[in-house]
Amino acid sequence: MLDCGLDMTSTLNFLPLPLVQSPRLSKLPGWVLKDGSTFLDKELKECSGHVFVDSVPEFCLPETELLDLSTVDVILISNYHCMMALPYITEYTGFTGTVYATEPTVQIGRLLMEELVNSIERVPKAQSASMWKNKEVQRLLPAPLKDAVEVSMWRKCYTMPEVNSALSKIQLVGYSQKIELFGAVQVTPLSSGYALGSSNWIIQSHYEKVSYVSGSSLLTTHPQPMDQASLKNSDVLILTGLTQIPTANPDGMVGEFCSNLAMTVRNGGNVLVPCYPSGVIYDLLECLYQYIDSAGLSNVPFYFISPVANSSLEFSQIFAEWLCHNKQTKVYLPEPPFPHAELIQTNKLKHYPSIHGDFSNDFKQPCVVFTGHPSLRFGDVVHFMELWGKSSLNTVIFTEPDFSYLDALAPYQPLAMKCVYCPIDTRLNFIQVSKLLKEVQPLHVVCPEQYTQPPPTQSHRTDLMIDCQPPAMSYRRAEVLTLPYKRRYEKIEIMPDLADSLVPLEIKPGISLATVSAVLHTKDNKHVLQLPPKPPQPPASKKRKRVSDDVPECKSLKPLLSGSIPVDQFVQTLEKHGFSDVKVEDTAKGHIVLLQEAETLIQLEEDSTHIICDNDEPLRVKLRDLVLKFLQKF
């Protein structure tokens, strides 16, 4: 299984979970059907024309109908965003396999999960809505609830014990490490340049190579650069995780982010940045480190609030080997690779596990707050939205591309604060993909259907799709694809003593042949040719043989045959031997020789010859010998 991401957009259909009871949210009117029925008014609330489920947010799990996840042997994880569904799989499906991921992926993935669990568990909700999920009821609901898919499969958030159990099934790997899977294939993670420890995977046998390219980036940000060279010579390249906002150039967006931040703060407003606790935030802090002095913002406090804020900032500094070259060299100076260490030291950046406690004592305005969750449905961000939403001096700046900012803001409407959308997605865009494919030249590209056509809202942007030769094979949800390659060869090892016994014959310069008589031993998808067992020795004693000594009975070796049978000559031979009524028929694969009187049939094909005669063993043997005359024996 390649990755197991969690679709969190389902949470957008739910009301936010405020830390303290919000009078505004609790006063929202219940939703009433057109016919006046009010049976759903406890479950569904209406806010500025949108309907939300008033319950603990639920998540949409990976496809479970299509295959039995307990039969999955291995899960390969590309980056920490792509493992958020792991506890649902390892804990609920009977999964007994192994998960492979790099160390930073696991550590930061744990932080993301911990933040998620913490944000939801700390505000328990007594009420749980399920009536709306009834198919008959769902049909009556307004969009987007009406169109939500597989709502019955939506699940509440997992718990920390489940997270711990899931993470314990992960086996850590390093870049370029070769991992044997059951002898059948070898998998290798490669740096993908997108996030700390993010990987692309190569899955290869001796003769075939499949590359799985997930979230990758060619930009110079903090992680180790993408390893492109190792992707060359792939038979199939599975491409996914491209940028979600192909029209937004990350550099331009960072500029936009800084300008809007500065303008808001200068006017006395506060800036709220809903974000994940790891990833782009490191780059944003680095950018702000360089920018705040030039923009005269040195005295403005920056707050990073997350239950895992401290761990995230500290972890980033210790994963030196997973960082880009510049940052790696800093470690040897020795300096912290990320400048946020200096921001913390100079008190410009302060981090808190939550808004309780120290934060409320230190809190000064105007300020900039980085906090989660980007969906605006849970986490401390909900509190700040309620607090600052009423003033037009404040600004919320969306930097994470995973959620539609308009949908995220819907339950907060009407909103006076300014909203700025600066999605910073450093993953590959279509120009970079096109260069990458030219560089690595895979024989076939397989990708989601969405990448093979322009975005629906910009149908004229034919530059925003994958353009490669041969055209990419696309897939859609729940579609089963046959990858366009055949496994034709297997590597077989010859044991040294067997190899020693071979007598090669040079049949033409440079090519020698030898007949091999051996036993093919296959175990764990490894094939070995061993010397055939010696004929059984007469028992040395009358002692009863032990079972374990029992060697397989060795039949007398049949000669190996080669060559082809010329039909005309064969017919002549048959006639010489008294078969007068020989008739030859041509078939698609060869010929059929009919001996009408004897009611016998000889099928001559390229790779097989069959003699079909009923209960006449002497005839069969006679015919067999005639056939054998035309073939060489080894």
**424, 421, 418, 373: which is closest to 398 by C-alpha?**
421
* Measured distance CA(422)–CA(137) in Å, rounded: 37
Question: Using the rule CB under 8 A, is 346 a contact of another protein?
Answer: no
Residue 397 is a binding residue for another protein (CB under 8 A):
no
CB of 417 to another protein, least distance (A): 17
Distance (Å, whole) CA 431 – CA 125: 46
Site string for another protein, 264-283 (x = CB under 8 A): --xx----------------
- State the Cα–Cα distance between residues 297 and 284, nearest whole angstrom: 15
Nearer to another protein, 185 or 349 (CB): 349
Does residue 369 sit in helix, strand or coil?
strand
With contact defined as beta carbons under 8 Å apart, do 268 and 299 qualify?
no
Identity of the residue, 101 or 219, whose beta carbon is nearer to another protein in the bound complex: 219
Dihedral, 578, 582, 588, 589 alpha carbons, nearest 10: -10
- CA atoms within a 13 Å half-sphere pointing along the CA-CB vector of 44: 25
Q: Does 289 bind another protein (CB under 8 A)?
A: no
Q: Select from 271, 274, 340 the least CA-distant residue to 305.
A: 274
Q: Contact between 30 and another protein (CB under 8 A)?
A: no
- Site size toward another protein, by CB under 8 A: 30
Q: Is the omega angle on the peptide bond into residue 374 within 30 degrees of 0, that is, cis?
A: no
For another protein, which residue of 70, 164, 220, 290 counts as binding (CB under 8 A)? 290
Of 134 and 267, the one with the shorter C-beta distance to another protein is: 267
Of 58, 227, 256, 380, which one interacts with another protein (CB under 8 A)?
256
b/e per residue, 461-478, with b = 16+ CB within 10 A?
Answer: eeebbbebeeebbbbeee
The 3-state secondary structure of 413-476 reads CCCCCEEEECCCCCCCCHHHHHHHHHHHCCCEEEEEHHHHCCCHHHCCCCCCCCCCCCCCEEEC
Is residue 63 at the binding interface for another protein, with CB under 8 A as the rule? no
| Distance in Å, CB of 634 to another protein, minimum | 59
252 binds another protein (CB under 8 A): yes
Q: Which of 98, 249, 310, 474 forms a contact with another protein (CB under 8 A)?
A: 249
452 near another protein (CB under 8 A): no
* Residue 466 within binding range of another protein, rule CB under 8 A: no
247 binds another protein (CB under 8 A): yes
Q: Using CB under 8 A, pick the residue from 463, 519, 567, 622 that binds another protein.
A: 463
Strand partners, 492: 527
Q: The dihedral of CA 293, 296, 299, 303: what is its sign? A: negative
Q: Which is nearer to another protein, 58 or 256 (CB)?
A: 256
Q: If binding is defined by CB under 8 A, does position 64 make contact with another protein?
A: no
Q: Which of 19, 117, 166, 254 binds another protein (CB under 8 A)?
A: 254
Q: Which is nearer to another protein, 422 or 574 (CB)?
A: 422
Stretch that binds another protein, among 24-32, 254-262, 381-389, 522-530 (CB under 8 A): 254-262
For another protein, the binding residues (CB under 8 A) are 247-249, 252-256, 258-260, 262-263, 266-267, 287, 290-291, 293-296, 422, 431, 458-463
